[in-house]
Homo-oligomer: A and B are copies of this chain.
Amino acid sequence: MWIPIQLNEHSAEPLYHQIEVQLRAFIVSGQMPEGTMLPSIRELAQLTKCSVITVRRVYQDLENEGLIRTRQGTGTFVAKVEDEARDRQRRNAVMEALESAVDAGLRVHFGEDEIVEMLQEVLRSRREADASAAAPGGEEAQHD
């Protein structure tokens, strides 16, 4: 298992920001317990296909936030996070995204029901994509 980071090159969102958001989410969601060693800057650079400088900036930002800690010559590790802070961050990230989606929907005059409907459509398609990825030939698909 390794950090699943998907970057959108054509987005107006800066690369470093996309990486930060996803890495922060990964840590905050408890998938990397305190003390876990992160990939080296150059590994992550290779993985994300961007320059080490960009990744270095990400690690530095997260260290300033107190999420990770760098030890000279040893590596970078997940720092101790308060459970409460973690929960808040975890929730916040999603709420913000949902708010901006709702804004977009209301702006073009979709009704609340339609928006909920569309969300469920997205969830469904994600579920199917996962299923076919997990069991590409199989039939015993999971419907969570």
Q: Which of B12, B51, B106 contacts A17 (CB 8 A)?
A: B12
Copies of this chain present in the complex amount to 4
The A interface, classified by DSSP as helix, strand, loop or mixed, is helix
Q: A12-B13, A17-B12, A93-B104 are in contact. Are A98 and B122 (CB under 8 A)?
A: yes
- Chain B residues lying within 8 Å of A122, measured Cβ to Cβ, are 95, 98-99, 102
Q: Which 5 A-B pairs have the closest CB atoms?
A: A29-B108, A97-B101, A94-B105, A12-B17, A97-B104
Which A residues contact B (CB, under 8 angstroms)? 4, 6, 12-14, 17, 21-22, 25-26, 28-31, 51, 64, 73, 90-91, 93-95, 97-112, 115-116, 118-123, 126-127, 144
